[in-house]
Amino acid sequence: MATEKQRKKYLPNLTVTVSLTIALFLIGLCGLLTVMGRKLSEVVKQNIEVQVYLNKDLTAEQSEKVRSQILAKPYIAQKEGKPQVTFVSKEEAADKFIKDTGENFKEFLGENPLRDGVFIKIQEDFFSENGLKQIKLDLQKIPGVFEATYVENFVDDVNKNITKIYLVLSVFVVLLLIIIVVLINNTIKLALYSQRFTIRSMQLVGATNGFIRKPFLYRGLFQGLLSAVFACGLIAMIINLGFEYLPETRLLVGDWEKLGILALALALIGMFIGFVSTLQSVERHLRSSVDKLY
């Protein structure tokens, strides 16, 4: 009999914790996809290069001067204090082409038609189609520059697709959060319904409403926090499985600071839902008449 009573006592609380854990896991999964999507966008942008080709008749001194002017540009990306600029001579470019294709074009052309090139990576703040167009025009104004090129429309396509992904995930999270609040609220109401007589008994012996609320609110906060811990554990398992079976995901889940913020957000959301839902349910029973207890 004691075991049955304990089961009836703890089952509602277990149901609340499990339901909230599943809800927070789904929200956390959406957050994880958002973090990975943002990281993917950064990786793609970091690997986009603007290719600057120089005139063929430049002397070594003139070529060095052009490269110095390019290095001085404010939109050049920096990594560990070093500008992300690579110079490739026409001889190096020809050797690479011959090695990759196995065809020596210099034999039947009689000359090397390629040009010296400077390949630069751009700061993320300038990654837009208009921004790259302005950079292209600015680079082509430098004396000695023959042409500046980049993969046009690609950056805008990346930005538009990432924006669409964020929008879809945001709408999904908002709808999911509304559904979760309603479901968890109802679940907590059912859990507290079994303790309505306890609340009434405490009122009859003179306990204040604040004294009655306190243990229930603490339990709601604890359930929200515990559910967030379980949800974060499930997300950590998903990440580890990704690392094991898809090693490439390590590159997309490299921003541990944002994952920490995600974990903190889940904890706050869980505690907020647990607190507010419990508060509403307790207030309902505190104000209910004796007739509504049966």
Average pLDDT, the chain: 78
Question: pLDDT tens-digit profile of 206-262?
Answer: 667 667 678 878 888 898 899 999 999 999 998 888 888 877 777 777 667 888 888
Q: Do residues 38 and 57 share a domain?
A: no
Q: Do residues 142 and 278 share a domain?
A: no
Q: What pTM was estimated for this model as a whole?
A: 0.67
Please, which pLDDT band fits residue 162 given cuts at 50, 70 and 90?
A: confident
Are the beta carbons of 277 and 219 closer than 8 angstroms?
A: no
Q: Do residues 109 and 161 share a domain?
A: no
Q: Do residues 116 and 204 share a domain?
A: no
Q: Do residues 12 and 66 share a domain?
A: no
Q: Is 71 left (phi over 0), alpha (psi -120 to 50) or beta?
A: alpha
Q: Domain of residue 180: give its range.
A: 2-43+156-293
Q: Do residues 231 and 188 share a domain?
A: yes
Domain end point (choices 150, 173, 196):
150
Domain end point (choices 97, 125, 150):
150
Please, which pLDDT band fits residue 1 given cuts at 50, 70 and 90?
A: very low
Q: Do residues 196 and 210 share a domain?
A: yes
Domain end point (choices 122, 150, 178):
150
Phi, psi angle pair for 59, to nearest 5°: -80, 170
The per-residue pLDDT for 193 is: 64
Q: Do residues 250 and 274 share a domain?
A: yes
Q: Do residues 163 and 256 share a domain?
A: yes
Q: Do residues 28 and 72 share a domain?
A: no
Burial of 52 (0-12, 13-18, 19+ CB in 10 A): buried
Q: Which two tokens stand for residue 114?
A: 């390629």
Q: Do residues 142 and 161 share a domain?
A: no
Report the alpha-carbon distance of residue 39 to residue 257 in Å, rounded. Answer: 12
Q: In sequence order, what are the residues at sequence separation of 6 or more whose Cβ sits closer than 8 angstroms to the Cβ of residue 169?
A: 30, 33, 34, 37
CATH number at residue 117: 3.30.70.3040
Q: Do residues 91 and 108 share a domain?
A: yes
Q: In sequence order, what are the residues at sequence separation of 6 or more whose Cβ sits closer than 8 angstroms to the Cβ of residue 67?
A: 85, 87, 118
Percent of the chain scored above 90 by pLDDT? 6
Domain count, the chain: 2
The per-residue pLDDT for 31 is: 83
